[in-house]
A and B are shown apart, each in its own frame.
Chain A
Amino acid sequence: MKHSVSLEIIRKTEGIKRLEHYVKNLIDHDKRAVISLLNEDTLSYPTIYVLSPTIREHNLSKHLSDRNRIALSIQKDILSKERAPAAPFPYSICDLPQYIHSVLRWMVETGSEEKLNTRYRLVIDRAAGLLTTIYQHPDDLLLVSKLLFNRKRAGLSTHYVTWAYFSSHNIASLLPIGEKLLSADEEEVAFARELLHFITGLDESDDPYAYFRSWYEENLPYLLHNENSYELTAELAPYVVDHDTKYRECFSHKASSDLREDGFHSLSEQEKEQLANLSYKIRMRSRSEWIEWMNRPLSAQLMFMEEVQHDHDSR
């Protein structure tokens, strides 16, 4: 235990060169001690990454723990130059595919704050992508959101981590971002606002976190995954509210409902959103009142919406 802390401390306080020098020296004198240090549970992935050329050079891989060997296999696979057509990841890169998920978690968890160099960041970002797209465990979202904000704080590219994060297709991925609206760090708040810009009214809100929470709770049943990305547009909207469903739920009390739905579809996006929000509010207040309201013609609903809006504005 004492030794493994030493490797971490050497890297963090004396730097990478000193760490490499220390390990190379120790290999010459006591190879077993080096292996023991490398296999300590408390070792972080950045240390393994930094020492990977030395490990390769001295042929130490076969002595490493399963975790370290798998991490180095993943690293090698990610950094391999040719990848098209797709290599059959994760099935063939190591003999223990059942451990890959936990090793990926370890890599991202212990490695997200380190910047080291571009190749290192590529490994971490790709590992995050594997977690969110292949394994899709909800617990990993917090881990990847931390990585996302670490990258932003360091002024580094967030492009692929953002893609990885929202590729989870898990609506709960919005929550860790929303919680950053409470951060004392203004840059974190600004980044959270940027990622959540698709929420109508968030930018104008005085209490963005409260606004986000109520928006999330209100729209959760109606959120759909959207197919756009920063590759397609500057305006990323990972989820969209299904205004149609929010407006009518499963309402079909009258034969005229088809006509009403056609009318709803012809409204502008802003009108659809406003009418859907009003419909939801009436439904939450009283279902019987809502059914009565839904039986009115669309024109009457729109007129009522304008009256409500007028009352709200004149307050």
Chain B
Amino acid sequence: MITIAGSSANKEVIVNAGIQTPLELTIVDVMLMSPHTYAYRSLDALMFEIRFRVSITSSSRDLYYSGVQFADFYRSRCNPMFWHLLPDGAFQLKAGVPASEAILDIYRNGPMYAFECATAMIIILYHAAVKMLPVNKFNQLFANMRLWGWKYDQDLQIVHNIPPDYLPGDIRYVKNPDVNPLTPEWQGENIVDLGDGTFFGHGLGFRTVGGMIEALAMRRRPGATRMPYLMLPATRPGFSYLYQYSFNRTMSDNSILLFDNGLERSSLSPEEYEENRSELLKNFITVRFGNTY
């Protein structure tokens, strides 16, 4: 089920709030039918996660068609106009370069780039975040961006656990326990759930889980006894954390955001709020964002 500000939400309200594609509807359906409670502070926060998830799937497709190459860390490469290639194969954002432009360059000049599958996943998440966050906020948040597997992900507040349900936009992992030691880059494959029964894995393209397993099985050592398998955990960015950066607020940090019964948002100053407090409390769910970010 889904709750908004503590109350159970029905499908009609959610759909009317701006569900536009079958994939968005799939996400809503999985959440609504789950015994787990998906709790959001506002309808806007729910829509943000749904759109972010859809964005992850489209960023995966775009990455594939950008022409980027698969490479292990020894052979990683990047556009030197935007990135420093570090000795360990990481890409460090150059000083003065907006992070958003550097991420978009990977998609514009794909053939100049080559990296491993975990780095690809981080790039996909950043690319989705570029689309979901105001550019100035994105550039502030990720000003010191470094791309290298999962290791430098603190700004995305990555969540990695066994979730109650698997949703489109989740990143899963197919482990290849008997990988050929001469190709350890195929020790497993990070894959994005595209929501239509297929997944995207950097280097393996679009396949079903069975197809991913089959491709990895070919990269096992001679005499291997174990087949690759899909692991239970899923990886996602911290949607609720990133949501707070999703609006371009021009008001002061002490402004009050008001949500009415339809969860429409409006804002006013603390003085205005105090003046009409009793009336406003009757009609609005109020949320104060006092210097919280």
B44 at the interface (CB under 8 A from A): no
A133 at interface by CB-CB < 8 Å? yes
Stretch at the interface among B132-140, B215-223, B247-255, B273-281: B215-223
Q: Mark A206-245, 1 if CB is under 8 A from B, else 0.
A: 0000000000000000000001011111110000000000
Contact present for B73 and A232 (CB under 8 Å): no
Does the CB pair B160–A159 fall under 8 Å? no
The B contact surface, by secondary structure, is loop
- Cα distance, A87 to B180, chains bound together (Å): 9
- Which of A119, A154, A227 interacts with B175 by CB under 8 Å? A227
Chain B contact-residue range equals: 35 or more
Q: Which of A272-305 contact B (CB under 8 A)?
A: none
In whole angstroms, what is the CA distance A129 to B186 when docked? 13
User: In the complex, which of the residues B89, B182, B218, B220 contacts A159, with contact meaning CB atoms closer than 8 Å?
Assistant: B89
CB–CB A126/B181 < 8 A: yes
Contact of A133 among B73, B181, B218 (CB under 8 A): B181
Q: Encode contact with B along A131-171: 1 for CB under 8 Å, 0 otherwise.
A: 01110000000000000000000111111100110010000
Residues of A within 8 A of B105 (CB): none
A86-B220, A157-B74 given as contacts; is B150 within 8 A of A230 (CB)? yes
- Per the bound structure, the CA–CA distance linking A38 and B181 in Å amounts to 29
Q: A81 CB to closest chain B CB, in angstroms?
A: 11
Is A121 touching B74 in the complex (CB atoms < 8 A)?
A: yes
CB-based closest 4 A-B pairs:
A129-B181, A157-B88, A85-B218, A234-B150
List 30 A–B pairs whose Cβ atoms lie within 8 Å, in order of A's numbering: A78-B182, A83-B180, A83-B182, A83-B183, A84-B186, A85-B219, A86-B182, A87-B182, A89-B221, A119-B74, A122-B74, A126-B181, A129-B184, A133-B181, A134-B221, A155-B88, A156-B87, A158-B88, A159-B88, A160-B184, A163-B187, A164-B181, A229-B187, A230-B150, A231-B118, A231-B150, A231-B190, A233-B235, A234-B150, A234-B152
- Contact residues of A with B, CB < 8 Å? 77-78, 83-89, 91, 118-119, 121-122, 126, 129-130, 132-134, 154-160, 163-164, 167, 227, 229-235
